Amino acid sequence: MAETKKYVWIKKAKYESSWYVNKIGELFELTEDTGAFYDVSVPGSVRLVNVEDAELIVTENRRPKVGERVLITYGITSSGDYKTGDICTVRSVVDIYGTITVKEHSNYVIAREYEVIINNEVENEEADGMEKSYAFKPNLNAMGYDELIAHGEDVMRAIRLRAYGEGYRQGKFDAEMDSTHGQAPVVSAQARRDEIVEQAKTDVEKLSNYGDGMRYETGTGSFATCNVEFVVNRDKRTVVALLKGIRTGNVYARGIAKAASDDCFNVHIGKAIALRRALDLTVPDEYLNAPLPTEVRVGDVVYYSRMHPRLTVSEGIGKGEGFVSVQLVSEYLGDGLTKIIDDSREEVCK
């Protein structure tokens, strides 16, 4: 049975004194529906939202079907084509991990970014043929004069932005579809792993507040500003994330990630797992079940033989002891013995 969640999407604020007056278009997880108000979860507290000011969305965390609508619950793209709170219609399901393409834009959307909408209200809108690039159609009759003016300005701004970028995006998507004879491009195991590694890098950067420190609740009702410190042990294939107080130097929380013996160690995925565990956040399934690499690259570490259990892949031959050429590893990769054991490539990426 798929996990069901309920979200409250803020569509307007009837009163200027409402706490969510500057949060139009944002999503909050529902904690209780009292009839006249929605109780929503806000960091540090639970607050009320007038039912008239919001839409309730019910979702399931599962792989969608073509034609279903999905809610973007954690948009990680930097392209600006979609964001958290958007609703998209599934064009195709690309792989077993739940990566999808949608009708609204040409970007791939990975499983971690969306949940499948199941409540009747949204399904009825789809049946009526409603197309929109934002989450819900606003009730214009319920808006005051100033709200209508502001909404009109937002609409015109969105139209100008859409007109500017639509030609490029449509042309890019048509080219991709033509190259695959009308089918959505298939994502290889290596390409999927590359996506997950980039996702992990972005995740760590965001969760650590881009290196500027983060506020962490110490459990005593107080908060400490912390830096994230990672301890990497490649021999033990572990990454430890420590949340250390900037002022006190105390370690307030820690999280550990360890690669399985038959897995390929990647420090970026390890950091994302360890940091999420330190913050007591859910670890996405794709981090725990990332596909193994299938293409050897310069900077990878490989198990080559019992005599050479740990060699670093180099551009060419003759670099010296401890190295092996990418051409040689490519020839033997998949022979049942030679395998990539660490594809972090930190030195190469810097």
Query: Is residue 138 a part of any domain in this protein?
Result: yes
The average confidence (pLDDT) of the chain is 80
pLDDT of residue 123: 43
16-20, 112-116, 197-201, 308-312: least confident range: 16-20
- Total domain count for the chain? 3
Q: Which residues pair with 40 in a beta bridge?
A: 30, 47
Check whether 303 has a pLDDT greater than 80. Answer: yes
Helix (H) or strand (E) holding 47: strand 45-50
- Quote the percentage of the chain above a pLDDT of 90: 31
pLDDT of residue 69: 93
pLDDT mean over 123-143: 46
pLDDT mean over 27-36: 86
Query: Is residue 209 a part of any domain in this protein?
Result: yes
Query: Is residue 295 a part of any domain in this protein?
Result: no
* The two three-digit tokens of residue 117, written as one number: 């909408």
pLDDT of residue 204: 92
pLDDT band at 215 (very low <50, low <70, confident <90, very high): confident
The CA distance from 250 to 256, in Å, is 18
Query: Is residue 294 a part of any domain in this protein?
Result: no
Statement to judge: residues 255 and 313 lie in one domain: no
Statement to judge: residues 115 and 161 lie in one domain: yes
Check whether 175 has a pLDDT greater than 60. Answer: no
pLDDT mean over 180-205: 81
Statement to judge: residues 208 and 136 lie in one domain: no
Q: Please give the residue that has the higher pLDDT: either 213 or 159.
A: 213
| Most confident among 177-186, 191-200, 208-217, 327-336 (mean pLDDT) | 191-200
Q: Are strands 311-314 and 54-61 parallel, antiparallel or unpaired?
A: unpaired
Statement to judge: residues 114 and 136 lie in one domain: yes
Statement to judge: residues 253 and 317 lie in one domain: no
Q: Quote the domain boundaries for residue 283.
A: 189-288
67: phi then psi, degrees, rounded to nearest 5: 95, -20
Statement to judge: residues 157 and 213 lie in one domain: no
Of the residues 267, 288, 309, the one at which a domain ends: 288
Query: Is residue 16 a part of any domain in this protein?
Result: yes
pLDDT of residue 153: 56
Statement to judge: residues 284 and 316 lie in one domain: no
Residues in contact with 268: Cβ distance below 8 Å, sequence separation at least 6, in sequence order: 197, 200, 201, 204, 344
What percent of the residues of the chain are helix, what percent strand, and what percent coil, each to the nearest 5?
Answer: 30, 30, 45
Check whether 184 has a pLDDT greater than 60. Answer: no
pLDDT of residue 172: 47
Q: Which residues pair with 330 in a beta bridge?
A: none
Statement to judge: residues 35 and 160 lie in one domain: yes
Statement to judge: residues 41 and 64 lie in one domain: yes
- Count of all residues that appear for the chain in the document: 350
pLDDT of residue 129: 40
* The two three-digit tokens of residue 157, written as one number: 């701004």
3-12, 175-184, 283-292, 327-336: least confident range: 175-184
pLDDT mean over 114-135: 55
Q: Is 262 left (phi over 0), alpha (psi -120 to 50) or beta?
A: alpha
Check whether 168 has a pLDDT greater than 80. Answer: no
Of the residues 242, 262, 288, the one at which a domain ends: 288
7 and 27 Cβ atoms separated by less than 8 Å = yes
Check whether 329 has a pLDDT greater than 80. Answer: yes
Statement to judge: residues 67 and 116 lie in one domain: yes
Q: Please give the residue that has the higher pLDDT: either 212 or 313.
A: 313
pLDDT mean over 104-127: 73
Query: Is residue 293 a part of any domain in this protein?
Result: no
Q: Which residues pair with 4 in a beta bridge?
A: 60
pLDDT of residue 59: 92
Of the residues 151, 179, 207, the one at which a domain ends: 179
Query: Is residue 75 a part of any domain in this protein?
Result: yes
What CATH number does the domain containing 199 carry? 3.30.160
Statement to judge: residues 66 and 147 lie in one domain: yes
Check whether 178 has a pLDDT greater than 60. Answer: no
Statement to judge: residues 7 and 95 lie in one domain: yes
Query: Is residue 296 a part of any domain in this protein?
Result: no
